[in-house]
Amino acid sequence: MLKLKMPLIVGVSFYIKFYISLACTSSRLRDMQTDVRVLLKATGFICLVVVGLPANLSVLLLFCRLRLSHGPLQPNNFILTHLAIVNLTVLLCRGIPQTLVALGLKHFLEDYGCKVLIFGYRNGRAMSICVTALLGCYQSVSIAPTTLPWNALKRWLPTHLPRTIIFLYILNISICYAAITGPQAMPSNGSIPEYTLNLEICIVVFPGSEAYVINGLMYTFRDVFFVATMVIAAAYMLLVLYRHRQQVRELQGASKASAGASKAVLLLVCSYVVLFSLENVLWGYTLSVSQVLPTISDARVFFASCYSALSPILIIATNRRLAKNFQCFTCAKTEAPSTPGGSDISHVTA
């Protein structure tokens, strides 16, 4: 009897050791996956901050220099100035906190700080898409044919740009109500309730599934509307330039500037549409589950913040005046002022 029990005991002990070693291996693999995710997150957000903050600050400083040396900014440069401001807001309210979390700093925000950061990020991101759409619409109006309706709009739009931007701020503040009521500090026990966005710096708690989905759909509809607006504006601008590329007189000798403007706006629009598509694929996934994995949230926030770091580089690269002033600024040399308004993203009257 004892001889029969011995193999059984040995077999049971073998399987127990096997399952223990398998559990340890699985735990080590999960730890490795977590380490890789944290490393990728830290690297990605550090790159965004290192690239985006100096680039947007450079754009602001260069436009301030143009304002002091040449007087009031042209309408297109006024729009780009606001784009740089909202880009800085996005990076300060989301890029830097996410970087700190990735580097190991936890629970450094209280409820009030979470509300300020999330509200600032949501409005900055919303204004980023709205201002980009406004830029596309302005360029389209600028190069539109010299017909009666377009001429009236050409006279009206430049003088009403400040009011338009203020209206966009009011609109987005009214939409982002959940960014005031929902954000909370990360729970100390690590327990995340259902229908909560886990941003790792904070959590955004919704009262139920209806509020969770309605809030997400409202953001999505707003984003889709402005993305569609900027795509239509860019497509119309390219169509007008194509129809009039040989009619230099109708473009009043500004065909080169118009072509440069179309390329610049098209770059900004295409970059935003690509990043918007990636972000909203992940956003749609978050609406379909009650608890969102941190990896999905990290990827969505990263794609949403990429435009804030990429757009100032595109602005400097496609704006001749800014590029010249940037070279002068970095080389610490003075450059004789040239004709005002020499930018690829320019105001072109038809």
pLDDT digits (tens, 9 = 90+) for 66-123: 888 888 888 888 998 999 999 999 999 888 888 888 787 877 888 888 888 889 988 9
Average pLDDT over all residues of the chain = 76
Cα dihedral value 312, 316, 322, 327, nearest 10: 120
Q: What is the reported pLDDT for 38?
A: 76
What one-character-per-residue DSSP string does 78-142 give?
HHHHHHHHHHHHHIIIIIHHHHHHHTT--S---HHHHHHHHHHHHHHHHHHHHHHHHHHHHHHHH
Measured distance between the N- and C-terminal CA atoms of the chain, rounded to whole angstroms: 103
Q: What is the reported pLDDT for 141?
A: 86
CA distance 22 to 155: 73
Ordered domains of the chain (ranges, CATH): 42-331 (1.20.1070.10)
Q: pLDDT grade, residue 341 (50/70/90)?
A: very low
Phi and psi dihedrals of 290, rounded to 5? -85, -25
Give the model confidence (pLDDT) of 271-304 as tens digits: 888 888 888 788 777 777 766 677 777 788 888 8
Cα dihedral sign for 203, 204, 209, 215? negative
CA distance 287 to 97: 24
pTM assigned to the model? 0.77
